[in-house]
Structure 1
Amino acid sequence: MSDSIQIQVADSHLYPGCPVRIAHLPEPSAAVGLAKAIVEFADGSGAHATCHRRAPDELELAVDGYATQKRHPVDARHWLLFAVDATHNSWRVKRRLP
């Protein structure tokens, strides 16, 4: 799964305001449709996801359900992220999407 985008989350789950790091996000012109992603949470848990760019500074992220390291189940959720730097490495969760 080396072609997946690697997403690192600063907590064991996502929530509005949560910091997210994406080191190698393809340029907006190169991203077509949905991209596969692997989400790595700070507690060591992980989940599969899909993402796509809505705008140069906005990213939709649909995360599959997973369990935290303490075995707390987290349902699948859909999030809107926004870039917080010009390099598009640092992001924050803006809000949960329906």
Structure 2
Amino acid sequence: MSDSVQIQVADSHLYPGCAVHIAHLPKSERTAATVVAVVEFADGSGANATCHLRAHDELELTVDGYATQKRHPVNARHWLLLAVDATHNSWRVKRRLP
């Protein structure tokens, strides 16, 4: 895949319960080991990430460290997301992974 997947987060950081939108997660990539992604946060900040589909409705998301627009540093973190709809466009953060 030459282009990265665009992930939009409804806040300036991820946390359990946070809404996440992934408009175009290609079906062919849903079974791939790792997909490169760019995460765009609601405050305009962004980070590089990788994602991996664990099960049909579970996605592992590893986000690199970044700084919010207010310059608060956020360390790299690993998250488990659950699909909210059948189209796999809407997701929610279930929990942080070790």
Counterpart position of 1:3: 3
Paired residues in the alignment total 98
Q: Which residue pairs with 2:37 in the alignment?
A: 37
Q: Give the Cα–Cα distance (whole angstroms) in 1 for the partners of residues 30 and 92 of structure 2.
A: 22
Following superposition, the deviation at residue 27 of structure 1 comes to: 1.7
The two structures have a TM-score, normalised by structure 1, of 0.95
What corresponds to 2:95 in structure 1? 95
Deviations 1:35-63 (A, max 9, x none): 10000000000000000100110000000
Q: Which residue of 1 aligns with 2:54?
A: 54
Judging by fraction of residues, say which structure has more helix: 2
| Runs of 5+ consecutive residues of structure 1 not aligned to the other structure | none
Gaps of 5+ in 2: none
The root-mean-square deviation of aligned C-alpha atoms, in Å, is 1.6
Partner residue in 2 for 1:24? 24
Deviation of 1:26 (Å):
1.8
**Residue 32 of structure 1, CA deviation:** 1.2
- For normalisation by structure 2, the TM-score amounts to 0.95
Distance 2:47 2:89 in 1: 19
